[in-house]
Amino acid sequence: MAKIEALLHEFWNHAEKENIEIYNEFSLQHELGMFLRQKLPGYKVQFERNISFFGIKAKCVKHEIDIVVYNATGDEKYAIELKYPRNGQYPEQMYAFIKDISFMEELKQNGFTDTFVMTVVEDKNFYSGRYGRNDIYRFFRGGEEINGKIEKPTGHVHESVSVKGSYRINWTEIHDGRMVYILKIQ
């Protein structure tokens, strides 16, 4: 069984040691994928795979998986969703973070061995600052657990996602001052 969670944490030490520049979401996806290929011989590591490839016909909040790792027999399947927002839009991006959690729960319910979310930020407004009792910031700045129905905080169209598990965001500083959280989905 692949130890994906440990490798996700190890990746940041590898990137620092090897002086690998991670400067946007695509570079994160590319470099992490190459790292996983090196560490997991015998597993396929693929990008932007549609859920239909894995026979999932259920309606999910998303359809493309950022990184999938699976063995030749298909009895081990791992999914990783990545975020690296660079243009502010804090409440919208925070909602997208929660949407990724919901998506990974859906994949777990549809036969994936384990699923993960990794989010990297440079802007302190994602993890520090004021927040209200009922706003989306409380999950990322205040340490409140993400659980239940979460409403989209902006826009004219009413949208929400449901999170069945309970997840607490624990930000960790990366070597260059950026912050990251990695969640293993229940």
Give the pLDDT confidence score for residue 176 in this predicted structure: 82
pLDDT of 158 reads 84
Average pLDDT, the chain: 95
The token duo for 103 is 């998506």
3-class DSSP state of 30: helix
- What confidence score (pLDDT) does residue 131 get? 86
> Which among 140, 146, 118 is positioned nearest to 127, based on CA atoms?
140
Nearest CA to 126 out of 166, 163, 96 is that of 96
Model confidence band, residue 174 (pLDDT cutoffs 50, 70, 90): very high
The pLDDT score that the predictor gives to residue 71 is 95
CA 73 to chain centre: 25
Identify the pLDDT of residue 90.
Answer: 93
* Residue 70 belongs to domain spanning: 4-184
- The β-bridge relationship of strands 77-83 and 64-71 is antiparallel
Number of domains in the chain: 1
Give which of 41, 5, 48, 2 is closest to 183, Cα–Cα: 5
pLDDT by residue (tens digit) across 30-58? 999 999 999 999 999 999 999 999 999 99
pTM of this prediction? 0.95
Tell me, what's the pLDDT at 24? 96
**pLDDT, average across residues 64-73:** 96
Model pLDDT, residue 2: 75
Q: Looking at residue 134, what is its pLDDT? A: 81
Task: Quote the radius of gyration of the chain (alpha carbons, Å).
Answer: 16
pLDDT of residue 69: 98
Buried b (16+ CB within 10 A) or exposed e, 81-113: bbbbbeeeebbbbbbbbbbbbbbbbbbbebebb
Q: What is the pLDDT of residue 67?
A: 98
